[in-house]
Structure 1
Amino acid sequence: MISPLKYNELVKRVEALEMALAAIQRKDTLPEGMAPLTTLAAEMGLSTSKAEELARNCGVMIVKQGHGHIVHEAKFREAALIIIKGAKRKYGSKYWFHPLIGKFTMTVRPQL
């Protein structure tokens, strides 16, 4: 049996998700807290494909909208910083490596 407080909390969460899905389906606006994957990938210095792989492997909400993807901005930044901090690079190599996303390059080092 679910308590009334827990039930009301679940109802609010479902309503918030319904509003977010409605905004995604309109395709002209981004839901609150979401950002284009390409923009965040450029800020972090990652390629779009590695940023998409990072989002999928770290459990960040990723949604296809139009021809691109949008992700939960705060969670993506948090996951990307953890991956970048944990990445290793061999001396003299341009490639970085992290077991979660494999070998990648960084065009810019994000501000940590």
Structure 2
Amino acid sequence: MFVTQASSPFFAPRVLDCIATTLKAINAQVYPYTIDVPSFGPWGYVLASRDFTLQPNRLSLKIPTRFLTTEHLQSLFQLPADMPLGKAKINRLVDPVIVGYQADPRWTAYD
């Protein structure tokens, strides 16, 4: 199992898509999700595994938590409709397309 942060789904949605697409290329099951990080806002992550199949709608908490609920946990994997996946290219050492995706002009919206 592998998890990586995948930039801001608002400012750089193609970065998250690129990471997910790249991990799918190695035959991994890929599960992108987002969570609000207080100092960053919405932030993306990609969970991937070759051996494990996740069913986000069946996730449940096994321990008591102060803020996280089962419903919230499941909702992390429900990406917004305006975040299309599967359109980014695979990131490669010889063609690091993710660099261009990270330079998305949305980052300058608040300059």
The TM-score range, normalised by the shorter chain, is under 0.3
Give the TM-score, by structure 2 length.
0.23
Q: Of Structure 1 and Structure 2, which has the larger fraction of its residues in helix?
A: 1
Relative contact order (alpha carbons < 8 A, sep ≥ 6): 1 or 2 greater?
2
